[in-house]
């Protein structure tokens, strides 16, 4: 697939923020032409599908300034410098929901917006949840609630759940539950 | 849910690019404190799950500079100014895969990275595909191929498919196919 790869010629940093950095890369495309790519640098994140039992998921409501509205999401957060995705998943689950996970299983990794963002998201399923009390970051405000997993597809179709990582996490857990059920019968 | 909402106090544009704009918003959080939010402004996009038949999906391989690698994705593209999501989905499907859709059904809308990006993605299923020849943008290079839908969960779990919009689209189509099957029996 080498004929698809672009050659990096130059890279210019244009913004360094708290959450994201922005750079503009100059690249040579496979036909030899030169163009630019705008790249949001993000150090990666985790998201967790917390399962109270095999039929019930813990979700959060959170105001998102870029969307201008409150969204329903699975708990998630950015990697701290030096932190592994596994460590981050355990920390964020406690901070945002107040549950510690007895079992944490990695489900998949996914780029969220690879057209312009380097963010790679690591997604986990958390089981055997034990309430330990939450501890939000200073500028975080959210509500925790539960949803029957079986209601997730309808909530996605009617727009109540409209966050990509949440769709991915809920649909993958549902897909695996369905496969397990078919194998068991 | 008013206790979650942030009040916008100020907004400063820091970068205007070809694909994204970047602004830094100053907001008042629900507890009255003042903080900043970095917001990537994006005019929205579409993605399409093109079904050759009910068991086969058309996918593309494309180099993504922010990821530094070739990714497997469903066809997708940005809204042109004044273009509706429906129009954009029909146009991008033809441009990227060379197929025109006899039927196009909206599946869902989703924010991709609402922590820092305003991008809202509109996702469609395309059926009754007719080959008409593709027409890529000048700086686009990609390969078109097909995958049996039943292989998608394994491709997600083993990391071959690691793009969020692609996971969402494939898993939702699989979920609906499963539901239809259970209703038919």
Contact (CB, 8 A) for A49 and A74: yes
User: In terms of Cα–Cα distance, which of A119, A78, A18, A73 is closest to B38?
Assistant: A18
State the residue for tokens 């990695």.
A106
What pLDDT, in 10s, does the model give residues B116-174?
Answer: 999 999 999 999 999 998 777 767 789 999 999 999 999 999 999 999 999 999 999 99
Residues of chain A found within 8 Å of residue B109, distances taken between Cβ atoms: 159, 162
pTM: 0.93
Quote the pLDDT of residue A151. 96
Band of residue A134 on the pLDDT scale cut at 50, 70, 90: confident
To test the contact with chain B by mutation, choose from A92, A111, A170, A185 the residue with the greatest count of B C-beta atoms within 10 A, namely A111
ipTM of the complex: 0.93
State the burial class of residue B169 (Cβ atoms within 10 Å of its Cβ: 0-12, 13-18, 19+).
Answer: buried
What percent of chain B is predicted at pLDDT more than 70? 98
B113: which chain A residues are within 8 Å (Cβ-Cβ)? 112-113, 117, 119, 164
The shortest CB-CB distance from A164 to any of B24, B118, B168 is to: B168
Query: A171 Cβ partners below 8 Å, 6+ apart?
Result: A152, A153, A156, B167, B168, B171, B172, B174, B175
Per residue in A54-80, pLDDT (tens digit) is: 999 999 999 999 999 999 999 999 999
Token couple for B185: 């029996």
| A85, A88, A94, A100: CA torsion to nearest 10 | 40
Structural domains for chain A: 2-41 (no CATH), 45-184 (3.90.79.10)
Query: With a CB-CB cutoff of 8 Å, which residues 100-159 of chain B face chain A?
Result: 107-121, 138-139, 141-143, 153, 156-157, 159
What is the bridge-based pairing of β-strands A21-28 and A7-16?
Answer: antiparallel
- What count of residues does chain B have? 185
Q: Quick check: B4 contacting A, CB < 8 Å?
A: yes
CB contact under 8 A, A116 and B159: no
């Amino acid at each position: 697939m080498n004929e698809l790869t672009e050659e990096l010629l130059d890279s210019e940093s244009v913004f360094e923020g708290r959450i994201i950095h922005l750079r503009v890369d100059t690249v040579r495309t496979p036909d030899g032409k030169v163009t630019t790519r705008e790249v949001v640098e993000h150090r990666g994140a985790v998201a967790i599908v917390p399962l109270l039992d095999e039929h019930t998921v813990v979700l959060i409501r959170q105001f998102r300034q870029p969307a201008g509205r409150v969204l329903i999401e699975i708990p998630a957060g950015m990697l701290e410098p030096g932190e592994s995705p596994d460590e981050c998943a355990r920390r964020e689950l406690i901070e945002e929901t107040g549950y510690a996970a007895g079992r944490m299983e990695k489900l998949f990794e996914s780029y969220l917006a690879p057209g312009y963002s380097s963010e790679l998201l690591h997604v986990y399923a958390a089981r055997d949840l034990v309430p330990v009390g939450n501890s939000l970051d200073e500028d975080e405000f959210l509500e925790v609630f539960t949803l029957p997993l079986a209601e997730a597809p309808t909530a996605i179709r009617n727009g109540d759940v409209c966050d990509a990582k949440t769709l991915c996490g809920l649909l993958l857990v549902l897909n695996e539950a369905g496969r397990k059920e078919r194998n068991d019968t």
